[in-house]
Chain A
Amino acid sequence: MLIPEELKYQKTDEWVKIVDGIATIGITDFAQDSLSDVVFVEFDIDVDDEVSAGDSMATIESVKAAAEVVFPVSGKVIEINQTLIDTPELLNESPYEEGWLVRVQAADGTELENLMDAAAYAIDIQDR
């Protein structure tokens, strides 16, 4: 299971990467593997929406289940990965690169402190 060192993780299996105040958010390799083949992504937000950590971002439907994705950080939505609408399989093929979900202008850098680092996340998923 891939758990890149440079990312931060949320218990509900989202990853976040902040560069120059812009947070890119996706789901982890573990999440896509548990879901198996993703067939549909529905976003619950639009560009320019103000969102808070814990808000619902999207629903990901696979052949096995439907999972909610929630925001790990607060801020303003600046970009939504629309290519996932037609090619949801990118979430399986490339969860950390092409399968990113949403970019947010992060409101508060300190929120990252509430998230796990790669080592903590690796332990977290061990028993699941």
Chain B
Amino acid sequence: MFTPHTKNDVEVMLKSIGLEKIEELFTEIPAEFRYPHLNLPPRLTEMEAAGELSSIASANVTTRDFLSFLGAGAYDHYIPAAVDNLLQRGEFYTAYTPYQPEISQGTLQAIFEFQSLICKLTGMDVSNASHYDGATAAAEAVILANSHFRGKRPKMLISRAVHPQYRQVIRTYMQGDPDVRIVGDDAETGIDPDMKNFISQIDNNTALVMVQYPDFFGRICDYREVIETAHQYGALVAMVVNPTALGLLIPPGDLGADIALGEGQPLGIPLSYGGPYLGFFAVKDALLRKLSGRLVGETTDVDGQLAYVLTLTAREQHIRREKATSNICSNQGLMTLAATIYLSVLGKTGFQQVSNLCYQKAHYTADQFKQIEGFQLLNENTPFFHEFVIKSEQPVGELLDHLLAHEIFGGYDLGQHYPELENCLLLAVTEKISREDIDYLVDVLQEVHHD
């Protein structure tokens, strides 16, 4: 709602606090900082500014222009036209957080459908109405676990194969709590898919065990022993999942995870330079009250008609500020809607098809690498989904530059986060990549080797 102040309103307000001019409100700010001289270029007309901005924007190269094998947490999937079309309807686009069910049925129903779809996808019992992105959702799992054990289990065991940026965000979130220890992701524990070194660190002080599925390297590891051991010690298990992979894989709920979370961007949200994205977060019934944010439920109104309401907000700040564990509310409302429309448009079969196409195309691509000199496929002995790691004889930087010159985003340089994976490249293959695209990549790479 926009509520303008008239000149008279402003005068009345100033008078009531004993001031004459609005500038007097800012006298606390030292004079030299109050109205500093800004070194700005000469002003432009709207037409000139629009021209300049679009010329700057046209310098960008996107996945529309180049072939992309970049993944590492954000994936270039096809987005059906219906998603944007429905998303940009004014009724949804401008809707505010649904505190008043009387006037928010559409938004509430959309959130309810989103929660239901996430539960179906993850095999969990309850989902909240979203987080900012996968990384902040991962941090919320740590907060949840810490509050679940009331700070009595200070150890958070996080696999080194969880997205490195997620682990950074977790550390940022938890830096204010000196008791919480984030461990298990050091080089010594390593990234072996059998996770022996990792499992041996689970103990009675462990509040949370976090693994990624498929992991950051695209591998589908068998986490049953991790989960079983964690539960033997009474710890909670959080699985960071790629939703697209769940079209094929056993859902985390069935594997025994207590928390399933992840990045919802692959569900109909454009790459868009890193955001806005969508964090999803679902738990088993036992953790229902610990879930941050809000839950929308289905009910009937006084006339017996189907209606949607905010059913539970046990940890939300506007209910009990001092007991809140999070500032999360409905959050990425528009992005949840995009994911909801995406999943609805694809349907169960369509979604499984996307998942299967990603899997098959990635495996076809990986197979090609076996035949290109100068490259070694590292995932060979572990099942993988739509991402895999190759080791290059040539420095990765040079390789990526060469690919870029051929209009290919080659992949993610793993050496920047993993010293043990120097000159290793993480490649993602989605349904958008055609066989011709893959053959082109192979041609360019063979050329690299012969250069």
Instruction: Decide: B150 and A42 in contact? CB cutoff 8 A.
Output: no
Instruction: Decide: B319 and A66 in contact? CB cutoff 8 A.
Output: yes
What B residues does A52 contact at CB under 8 A?
A: none
CA distance A61 to B314 in the complex (A): 9
A59 within 8 A of B: yes
The answer, among A40, A42, A46, A66, for a CB contact under 8 Å with B152, is A46
Across the interface, name the chain B residue whose C-beta is closest to A61. B314
Known: A40-B289, A42-B289. A59 touches B152 (CB 8 A): no
B320 within 8 A of A: yes
- A44, A46, A61 pick with most chain B CB within 10 angstroms: A61
B323 within 8 A of A: yes
What B residues does A44 contact at CB under 8 A?
A: 150
Instruction: Decide: B323 and A66 in contact? CB cutoff 8 A.
Output: yes
Residue total for A at the interface (Cβ-Cβ under 8 A): 7
A12-50: which have CB < 8 Å to B?
40, 42, 44, 46
What A residues does B314 contact at CB under 8 A?
A: 40, 61
CA distance A44 to B289 in the complex (A): 14
Instruction: Decide: B289 and A66 in contact? CB cutoff 8 A.
Output: no
CA distance A46 to B151 in the complex (A): 12
The proximity string for B residues 137-159 relative to A, scoring 1 for CB distances below 8 Å and 0 otherwise, is 00000000000001010000000
CA distance A66 to B319 in the complex (A): 9
Across the interface, name the chain A residue whose C-beta is closest to B322. A68
What B residues does A59 contact at CB under 8 A?
A: 323
CA distance A99 to B320 in the complex (A): 24
Across the interface, name the chain A residue whose C-beta is closest to B323. A59
Across the interface, name the chain A residue whose C-beta is closest to B319. A66
Across the interface, name the chain A residue whose C-beta is closest to B152. A46
What A residues does B150 contact at CB under 8 A?
A: 44, 46
Across the interface, name the chain A residue whose C-beta is closest to B150. A44
Across the interface, name the chain B residue whose C-beta is closest to A40. B289
B311 to chain A, nearest CB (A): 12
CA distance A42 to B287 in the complex (A): 12
What B residues does A40 contact at CB under 8 A?
A: 289, 314
What A residues does B319 contact at CB under 8 A?
A: 66
What A residues does B289 contact at CB under 8 A?
A: 40, 42
CA distance A61 to B152 in the complex (A): 24
A10 to chain B, nearest CB (A): 20
CA distance A127 to B217 in the complex (A): 66
A12 to chain B, nearest CB (A): 15
A37-78: which have CB < 8 Å to B?
40, 42, 44, 46, 59, 61, 66
B273-328: which have CB < 8 Å to A?
289, 314, 319-320, 323
CA distance A66 to B318 in the complex (A): 13
What B residues does A42 contact at CB under 8 A?
A: 289
What A residues does B323 contact at CB under 8 A?
A: 59, 66
CA distance A42 to B289 in the complex (A): 9
CA distance A66 to B320 in the complex (A): 8
The proximity string for A residues 77-94 relative to B, scoring 1 for CB distances below 8 Å and 0 otherwise, is 000000000000000000
A60 to chain B, nearest CB (A): 12
CA distance A44 to B151 in the complex (A): 11
What A residues does B152 contact at CB under 8 A?
A: 46
B319-356: which have CB < 8 Å to A?
319-320, 323
CA distance A40 to B320 in the complex (A): 15
Taking Cβ atoms with an 8 Å cutoff, the residues of B that contact A are 150, 152, 289, 314, 319-320, 323
Known: A40-B314, A61-B314, A66-B323. 8 other contacts (CB 8 A): A40-B289, A42-B289, A44-B150, A46-B150, A46-B152, A59-B323, A66-B319, A66-B320
A-B CB contact pairs (8 Å), 6 listed? A44-B150, A46-B150, A59-B323, A61-B314, A66-B320, A66-B323
The 8 closest A-B pairs by CB, nearest first: A66-B320, A59-B323, A40-B289, A44-B150, A42-B289, A66-B319, A66-B323, A46-B152
